[in-house]
Protein backbone atom coordinates (compact mmCIF):
# COMPACT_ATOMS: atom_id res chain seq x y z
CA UNK A 1 0.00 0.00 0.00
CA UNK A 2 2.78 2.45 0.90
CA UNK A 3 4.53 1.75 -2.41
CA UNK A 4 1.31 2.30 -4.30
CA UNK A 5 0.62 5.61 -2.52
CA UNK A 6 4.19 6.81 -3.14
CA UNK A 7 3.92 5.90 -6.83
CA UNK A 8 0.61 7.70 -7.19
CA UNK A 9 1.94 10.81 -5.47
CA UNK A 10 4.97 10.85 -7.77
CA UNK A 11 2.62 10.68 -10.74
CA UNK A 12 1.22 14.04 -9.65
CA UNK A 13 4.45 15.67 -10.87
CA UNK A 14 3.99 14.86 -14.59
CA UNK A 15 0.30 15.71 -14.30
CA UNK A 16 1.14 19.17 -12.98
CA UNK A 17 3.75 19.57 -15.70
CA UNK A 18 1.25 18.82 -18.48
CA UNK A 19 -1.37 21.09 -16.91
CA UNK A 20 1.15 23.92 -16.55
CA UNK A 21 2.31 23.67 -20.17
CA UNK A 22 -1.22 23.61 -21.57
CA UNK A 23 -2.36 26.48 -19.35
CA UNK A 24 0.73 28.55 -20.09
CA UNK A 25 0.39 28.16 -23.86
CA UNK A 26 -3.35 28.82 -23.94
CA UNK A 27 -2.99 31.77 -21.58
CA UNK A 28 -0.55 33.50 -23.93
CA UNK A 29 -2.49 32.48 -27.05
CA UNK A 30 -5.58 34.42 -25.97
CA UNK A 31 -5.63 37.92 -27.50
CA UNK A 32 -4.74 40.73 -25.14
CA UNK A 33 -2.27 41.07 -22.32
CA UNK A 34 -1.82 42.26 -18.74
CA UNK A 35 -1.26 45.86 -19.85
CA UNK A 36 -4.54 46.20 -21.76
CA UNK A 37 -6.60 48.84 -19.98
CA UNK A 38 -9.47 51.15 -20.76
CA UNK A 39 -6.91 53.89 -21.37
CA UNK A 40 -4.40 52.48 -23.83
CA UNK A 41 -0.80 52.76 -22.66
CA UNK A 42 1.87 54.19 -24.98
CA UNK A 43 3.89 51.59 -26.90
CA UNK A 44 7.09 52.68 -25.14
CA UNK A 45 5.53 52.07 -21.73
CA UNK A 46 4.25 48.63 -22.78
CA UNK A 47 7.69 47.72 -24.12
CA UNK A 48 9.34 48.79 -20.86
CA UNK A 49 6.85 46.79 -18.78
CA UNK A 50 7.33 43.72 -20.97
CA UNK A 51 11.08 43.98 -20.54
CA UNK A 52 10.78 44.48 -16.78
CA UNK A 53 8.56 41.42 -16.32
CA UNK A 54 10.30 39.28 -18.94
CA UNK A 55 7.33 39.18 -21.31
CA UNK A 56 9.52 40.20 -24.25
CA UNK A 57 11.34 36.85 -24.15
CA UNK A 58 10.36 33.81 -26.25
CA UNK A 59 7.48 31.78 -24.86
CA UNK A 60 9.67 28.78 -23.95
CA UNK A 61 12.05 31.06 -22.02
CA UNK A 62 9.14 32.62 -20.13
CA UNK A 63 7.90 29.15 -19.19
CA UNK A 64 11.32 28.01 -18.01
CA UNK A 65 11.65 31.13 -15.85
CA UNK A 66 8.19 30.60 -14.38
CA UNK A 67 8.74 26.87 -13.74
CA UNK A 68 12.12 27.54 -12.09
CA UNK A 69 10.55 30.03 -9.71
CA UNK A 70 7.53 27.80 -9.11
CA UNK A 71 9.51 24.76 -7.94
CA UNK A 72 11.36 27.02 -5.49
CA UNK A 73 8.07 28.32 -4.07
CA UNK A 74 8.11 31.71 -5.81
CA UNK A 75 4.76 32.24 -7.57
CA UNK A 76 5.94 35.44 -9.21
CA UNK A 77 4.70 39.03 -9.27
CA UNK A 78 1.10 40.04 -9.81
CA UNK A 79 0.58 42.08 -12.98
CA UNK A 80 -2.70 43.48 -11.70
CA UNK A 81 -1.58 44.30 -8.16
CA UNK A 82 1.94 45.47 -8.95
CA UNK A 83 2.78 46.21 -5.33
CA UNK A 84 2.08 42.62 -4.23
CA UNK A 85 3.52 39.19 -4.90
CA UNK A 86 1.27 36.26 -5.77
CA UNK A 87 2.56 34.46 -2.67
CA UNK A 88 1.16 37.27 -0.51
CA UNK A 89 -2.21 37.23 -2.28
CA UNK A 90 -2.55 33.46 -1.90
CA UNK A 91 -1.38 33.52 1.73
CA UNK A 92 -3.87 36.24 2.67
CA UNK A 93 -6.97 34.55 1.27
CA UNK A 94 -6.22 30.83 0.95
CA UNK A 95 -7.30 29.77 4.44
CA UNK A 96 -10.59 31.64 4.08
CA UNK A 97 -11.31 29.89 0.79
CA UNK A 98 -10.29 26.51 2.22
CA UNK A 99 -12.48 27.05 5.28
CA UNK A 100 -15.49 27.90 3.13
CA UNK A 101 -14.88 24.91 0.85
CA UNK A 102 -14.38 22.43 3.69
CA UNK A 103 -17.52 23.59 5.52
CA UNK A 104 -19.53 23.32 2.30
CA UNK A 105 -18.09 19.84 1.69
CA UNK A 106 -18.98 18.64 5.19
CA UNK A 107 -22.50 19.98 4.78
CA UNK A 108 -22.78 18.31 1.37
CA UNK A 109 -21.76 14.90 2.76
CA UNK A 110 -23.80 15.16 5.97
CA UNK A 111 -26.97 16.10 4.06
CA UNK A 112 -26.44 14.47 0.64
CA UNK A 113 -25.65 10.90 1.68
CA UNK A 114 -28.55 10.51 4.17
CA UNK A 115 -30.88 12.13 1.65
CA UNK A 116 -29.87 9.56 -0.98
CA UNK A 117 -30.17 6.68 1.48
CA UNK A 118 -33.62 7.88 2.54
CA UNK A 119 -34.72 8.05 -1.10
CA UNK A 120 -33.48 4.53 -1.85
CA UNK A 121 -35.03 2.95 1.25
CA UNK A 122 -38.34 4.67 0.45
CA UNK A 123 -38.20 3.88 -3.26
CA UNK A 124 -41.34 4.96 -5.15
CA UNK A 125 -42.81 6.43 -1.98
CA UNK A 126 -42.93 9.97 -0.62
CA UNK A 127 -39.35 9.96 0.78
CA UNK A 128 -38.08 9.08 -2.69
CA UNK A 129 -40.24 11.71 -4.38
CA UNK A 130 -39.19 14.39 -1.87
CA UNK A 131 -35.48 13.59 -2.14
CA UNK A 132 -35.59 13.40 -5.93
CA UNK A 133 -37.44 16.72 -6.17
CA UNK A 134 -34.93 18.44 -3.89
CA UNK A 135 -32.05 16.96 -5.90
CA UNK A 136 -33.48 18.15 -9.21
CA UNK A 137 -33.98 21.65 -7.82
CA UNK A 138 -30.45 21.66 -6.39
CA UNK A 139 -28.86 20.54 -9.65
CA UNK A 140 -30.89 23.01 -11.73
CA UNK A 141 -30.19 26.02 -9.49
CA UNK A 142 -26.78 27.69 -9.94
CA UNK A 143 -24.93 28.56 -6.76
CA UNK A 144 -25.05 32.30 -7.41
CA UNK A 145 -28.85 32.16 -7.87
CA UNK A 146 -29.20 30.22 -4.63
CA UNK A 147 -26.90 32.70 -2.90
CA UNK A 148 -28.99 35.67 -4.04
CA UNK A 149 -32.20 33.94 -2.90
CA UNK A 150 -30.70 33.20 0.51
CA UNK A 151 -29.65 36.84 0.90
CA UNK A 152 -33.12 38.10 -0.04
CA UNK A 153 -34.98 35.70 2.26
CA UNK A 154 -32.74 35.24 5.30
CA UNK A 155 -30.69 38.46 5.30
CA UNK A 156 -32.96 41.16 3.87
CA UNK A 157 -36.47 39.99 4.72
CA UNK A 158 -35.92 38.01 7.93
CA UNK A 159 -32.70 39.68 9.07
CA UNK A 160 -31.32 36.48 10.54
CA UNK A 161 -27.87 36.68 8.94
CA UNK A 162 -25.60 39.40 7.52
CA UNK A 163 -25.57 39.95 3.77
CA UNK A 164 -21.82 39.35 3.50
CA UNK A 165 -18.40 39.40 5.08
CA UNK A 166 -16.41 36.74 6.90
CA UNK A 167 -16.15 37.89 10.50
CA UNK A 168 -17.84 35.16 12.51
CA UNK A 169 -20.07 32.07 12.46
CA UNK A 170 -23.15 34.13 11.59
CA UNK A 171 -21.46 35.21 8.34
CA UNK A 172 -20.52 31.64 7.41
CA UNK A 173 -24.01 30.18 7.17
CA UNK A 174 -25.42 31.65 3.95
CA UNK A 175 -22.30 31.27 1.74
CA UNK A 176 -21.76 27.72 2.99
CA UNK A 177 -25.33 26.70 2.17
CA UNK A 178 -25.19 28.46 -1.20
CA UNK A 179 -21.96 26.70 -2.15
CA UNK A 180 -23.15 23.30 -0.89
CA UNK A 181 -26.51 23.33 -2.72
CA UNK A 182 -25.32 21.73 -5.95
CA UNK A 183 -22.98 19.12 -4.35
CA UNK A 184 -25.74 18.04 -1.97
CA UNK A 185 -28.01 17.31 -4.92
CA UNK A 186 -25.30 15.44 -6.85
CA UNK A 187 -24.21 13.32 -3.88
CA UNK A 188 -27.83 12.50 -3.05
CA UNK A 189 -28.47 11.33 -6.64
CA UNK A 190 -25.32 9.19 -6.69
CA UNK A 191 -26.12 7.68 -3.30
CA UNK A 192 -29.69 6.88 -4.29
CA UNK A 193 -28.64 5.19 -7.54
CA UNK A 194 -25.89 3.22 -5.83
CA UNK A 195 -28.16 2.11 -3.00
CA UNK A 196 -30.85 0.94 -5.43
CA UNK A 197 -28.27 -1.09 -7.33
CA UNK A 198 -26.97 -2.71 -4.16
CA UNK A 199 -30.46 -3.67 -2.98
CA UNK A 200 -30.77 -5.94 -6.04
CA UNK A 201 -27.61 -7.90 -5.28
CA UNK A 202 -27.79 -11.56 -4.34
CA UNK A 203 -25.94 -11.14 -1.05
CA UNK A 204 -28.59 -8.66 0.11
CA UNK A 205 -31.36 -11.17 -0.57
CA UNK A 206 -29.28 -13.84 1.19
CA UNK A 207 -28.85 -11.65 4.25
CA UNK A 208 -32.57 -10.91 4.31
CA UNK A 209 -33.47 -14.59 3.93
CA UNK A 210 -31.28 -15.42 6.93
CA UNK A 211 -33.57 -13.28 9.06
CA UNK A 212 -31.18 -10.44 9.78
CA UNK A 213 -32.77 -7.28 11.05
CA UNK A 214 -33.38 -4.58 8.45
CA UNK A 215 -31.07 -2.15 10.23
CA UNK A 216 -28.22 -4.68 10.18
CA UNK A 217 -28.71 -5.37 6.46
CA UNK A 218 -28.78 -1.67 5.66
CA UNK A 219 -25.81 -0.64 7.82
CA UNK A 220 -23.49 -3.61 7.30
CA UNK A 221 -24.19 -4.56 3.72
CA UNK A 222 -26.05 -1.89 1.78
CA UNK A 223 -24.51 1.41 2.86
CA UNK A 224 -20.88 0.31 2.96
CA UNK A 225 -20.96 -1.20 -0.53
CA UNK A 226 -23.07 1.63 -1.92
CA UNK A 227 -20.56 4.24 -0.76
CA UNK A 228 -17.81 3.04 -3.13
CA UNK A 229 -19.18 4.84 -6.23
CA UNK A 230 -20.09 7.84 -4.06
CA UNK A 231 -16.53 8.16 -2.75
CA UNK A 232 -15.39 8.49 -6.37
CA UNK A 233 -16.99 11.92 -6.68
CA UNK A 234 -16.09 13.16 -3.19
CA UNK A 235 -12.47 13.92 -4.08
CA UNK A 236 -13.22 16.11 -7.12
CA UNK A 237 -16.14 17.64 -5.22
CA UNK A 238 -13.88 18.75 -2.37
CA UNK A 239 -11.34 20.13 -4.84
CA UNK A 240 -14.09 22.03 -6.63
CA UNK A 241 -15.50 23.46 -3.42
CA UNK A 242 -12.11 24.52 -2.08
CA UNK A 243 -10.91 26.18 -5.29
CA UNK A 244 -14.10 26.99 -7.18
CA UNK A 245 -15.96 29.29 -4.80
CA UNK A 246 -15.02 32.57 -6.51
CA UNK A 247 -18.60 33.46 -7.53
CA UNK A 248 -19.89 32.90 -4.00
CA UNK A 249 -16.98 34.89 -2.61
CA UNK A 250 -17.85 37.76 -4.93
CA UNK A 251 -21.56 37.70 -3.98
CA UNK A 252 -20.94 37.57 -0.23
CA UNK A 253 -17.84 39.80 -0.30
CA UNK A 254 -15.62 37.10 1.20
CA UNK A 255 -11.88 37.93 1.30
CA UNK A 256 -10.70 34.65 -0.23
CA UNK A 257 -8.52 33.85 -3.23
CA UNK A 258 -11.47 32.95 -5.44
CA UNK A 259 -12.21 36.55 -6.36
CA UNK A 260 -8.57 37.01 -7.35
CA UNK A 261 -8.83 33.96 -9.61
CA UNK A 262 -11.74 35.55 -11.42
CA UNK A 263 -9.89 38.84 -11.74
CA UNK A 264 -6.77 37.09 -13.04
CA UNK A 265 -8.73 35.69 -15.97
CA UNK A 266 -10.27 38.98 -17.02
CA UNK A 267 -7.12 41.06 -16.45
CA UNK A 268 -4.61 38.53 -17.87
CA UNK A 269 -2.73 38.38 -14.60
CA UNK A 270 -0.53 35.52 -15.80
CA UNK A 271 1.29 34.71 -12.56
CA UNK A 272 -1.86 34.68 -10.44
CA UNK A 273 -3.77 32.65 -13.04
CA UNK A 274 -1.01 30.04 -13.20
CA UNK A 275 -0.80 29.82 -9.41
CA UNK A 276 -4.54 29.30 -8.99
CA UNK A 277 -4.72 26.76 -11.84
CA UNK A 278 -1.84 24.75 -10.42
CA UNK A 279 -3.44 24.81 -6.97
CA UNK A 280 -6.67 23.43 -8.40
CA UNK A 281 -4.82 20.77 -10.44
CA UNK A 282 -2.85 19.64 -7.40
CA UNK A 283 -5.99 19.49 -5.27
CA UNK A 284 -7.79 17.29 -7.83
CA UNK A 285 -4.80 14.98 -8.34
CA UNK A 286 -4.03 14.60 -4.64
CA UNK A 287 -7.65 14.04 -3.61
CA UNK A 288 -8.00 11.35 -6.27
CA UNK A 289 -5.16 9.52 -4.54
CA UNK A 290 -7.02 9.90 -1.24
CA UNK A 291 -10.16 8.48 -2.87
CA UNK A 292 -8.27 5.40 -4.10
CA UNK A 293 -6.92 4.80 -0.60
CA UNK A 294 -10.43 5.10 0.83
CA UNK A 295 -11.57 2.37 -1.57
CA UNK A 296 -9.42 -0.16 0.27
CA UNK A 297 -10.78 1.00 3.61
CA UNK A 298 -14.43 0.81 2.57
CA UNK A 299 -14.18 -2.43 0.58
CA UNK A 300 -11.79 -5.05 2.05
CA UNK A 301 -11.80 -6.87 -1.31
CA UNK A 302 -9.77 -4.02 -2.85
CA UNK A 303 -6.03 -4.32 -2.33
CA UNK A 304 -3.15 -2.39 -3.87
CA UNK A 305 0.26 -3.90 -4.37
CATH of the domain at 136: 1.10.3720.10
Q: What is the CA radius of gyration of the chain?
A: 24
Q: Cβ distance 180 to 198 under 8 Å?
A: no
Q: Which of 25-34, 66-75, 175-184 has the lowest mean pLDDT?
A: 25-34
Residue 300 CB burial class (10 angstroms; 0-12, 13-18, ≥19): exposed
pLDDT at 144: 83
pLDDT band at 39 (very low <50, low <70, confident <90, very high): low
Tally of domains within the chain: 1
Q: What backbone phi and psi angles, to 5 degrees, belong to 203?
A: -70, -25
Length of the chain: 305
pLDDT of residue 22: 92
pLDDT digits (tens, 9 = 90+) for 99-153: 888 899 999 999 988 888 888 877 778 877 888 888 888 888 888 888 889 899 9
Indicate the range of 46-50, 75-79, 97-101, 160-164 predicted with least confidence: 46-50
Measured between alpha carbons, how far is 302 from 115 in angstroms, rounded to an integer? 27
Report the percent of the chain where pLDDT is more than 90: 4
Closest CA to 228 of 192, 204, 194, 205: 194
- Domain around 278: 1-305
Question: Is pTM beyond 0.75 here?
Answer: yes
Return the half-sphere exposure (C-beta side, CA atoms, 13 A cut-off) of residue 265: 9
Would you say 143 and 182 are in contact if contact means Cβ atoms under 8 Å apart?
Answer: yes
53 Cβ neighbours under 8 A, 6+ residues apart? 34, 77, 79
Which comes out higher in pLDDT, residue 238 or 216?
A: 238
Does residue 221 have a pLDDT over 70?
no
Q: Are the C-beta atoms of 70 and 148 separated by less than 8 Å?
A: no
Q: How far, in Å, CA of 243 to CA of 263, rounded?
A: 14
| Residue from 34, 27, 33, 21 nearest 60 by CA | 21
Comparing C-alpha atoms, which of 273, 305, 218, 299 is closest to residue 8? 305
Q: What is the residue-wise DSSP string for 89-101? A: HHHHHHHHHHHHH
Q: What DSSP assignment string belongs to 175-188? A: HHHHHHHHHHHHHH
Distance of CA 213 to the CA centre of its chain: 39
pLDDT of 300 above 70 = no
d(C-alpha 115, C-alpha 183), whole Å: 12
- Count of CB atoms within 10 A of residue 176's CB? 24
Amino acid sequence: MITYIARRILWIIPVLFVVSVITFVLMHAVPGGPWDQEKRLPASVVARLNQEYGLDQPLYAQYINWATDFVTGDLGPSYRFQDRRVNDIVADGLMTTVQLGVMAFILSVVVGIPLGILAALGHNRWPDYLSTSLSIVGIATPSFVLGILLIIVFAVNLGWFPTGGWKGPETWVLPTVALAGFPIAVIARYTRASMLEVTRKDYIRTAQSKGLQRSAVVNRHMIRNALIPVVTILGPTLAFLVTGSFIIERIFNIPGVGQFYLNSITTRDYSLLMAMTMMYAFAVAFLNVVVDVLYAYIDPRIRYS
